[in-house]
Chain A
Amino acid sequence: DSGVTQTPKHLITATGQRVTLRCSPRSGDLSVYWYQQSLDQGLQFLIQYYNGEERAKGNILERFSAQQFPDLHSELNLSSLELGDSALYFCASSVSLVSSYEQYFGPGTRLTVT
């Protein structure tokens, strides 16, 4: 158990809908990363937050957005869902921005868009 929690574990929804994925980082971790794992794209970085502020963006679609709240949990919002958005979404947390600190991964949320 990494100490990072993600809810829900599974999500099935229809095209065009909007969903919210939630991540609670390890106690004391200020940095949160979101990654998407799909068959087509593999594992890719979406976005990073540090202490409530967006710090880095990767291959995140405009239909997707995220935020980190004062209690440091983070939410990834996916809207106007398409079949291709079906993937495993991971959240990872780290104590700091500094690269020498480990990123600890949550168990992931499996999103299925039908």
Chain B
Amino acid sequence: AQTVTQSQPEMSVQEAETVTLSCTYDTSESDYYLFWYKQPPSRQMILVIRQEAYKQQNATENRFSVNFQKAAKSFSLKISDSQLGDAAMYFCAYRSEEVYTGANSKLTFGKGITLSVRP
């Protein structure tokens, strides 16, 4: 079974600075997807960024980028130019690549990290 570990329960960053959130995972699969989800106080789950394991290039979405190290099974999220609205809980998630069967298309989440942004 796959596991996702987020070892830092809380982090803090100064507004306009850069912060990196860490995530490691364990799997024996070679094809899979990794995600970062944001959960603000409203509790809505918002997809921030996704990475396909077969892609060597790290995904980027505006101020959000990832550092995907497949061999190390590491998937960190970098938030640049942090804004007050970035304050939320962030979850790292894993999903198997099961083409057509979908039996393992569930998301497996880490415990999450609470990010606070200081003005």
B106 with A50: CB separation less than 8 A: no
A40 to B100, CA, bound (A): 33
In the assembled complex, B82 has its CB within 8 A of some CB on chain A: no
A97 to B107, CA, bound (A): 13
Which residues on B sit within 8 Å (CB–CB) of A105?
A: 44-46
A97 to B105, CA, bound (A): 7
A97 with B106: CB separation less than 8 A: no
Q: Which of B94-116 contact A (CB under 8 A)?
A: 95-112
Q: Which residues of A contact B (CB under 8 A)?
A: 2, 31, 33, 35, 42-45, 48, 50, 55-56, 58, 88, 90, 92, 94, 96-100, 102-103, 105, 107-108, 110
In the assembled complex, B64 has its CB within 8 A of some CB on chain A: no
**Looking across the interface, which residue of chain B has its beta carbon closest to that of A56?**
B103
A99 with B97: CB separation less than 8 A: yes
Which residues on B sit within 8 Å (CB–CB) of A103?
A: 107
A97 with B100: CB separation less than 8 A: yes
Q: Which residues of B contact A (CB under 8 A)?
A: 32-33, 42-47, 50, 52, 91, 95-112
Residue A99 contacts which of B43, B99, B111 (CB distance < 8 angstroms)? B99
Which residues on A sit within 8 Å (CB–CB) of B42?
A: 107
B108 with A45: CB separation less than 8 A: yes
A107 with B43: CB separation less than 8 A: yes
**Looking across the interface, which residue of chain A has its beta carbon closest to that of B111?**
A42
Most central of B32, B45, B107, B109 by chain A CB within 10 Å:
B45
B107 with A56: CB separation less than 8 A: no
A45 with B111: CB separation less than 8 A: no
**Looking across the interface, which residue of chain A has its beta carbon closest to that of B112?**
A42
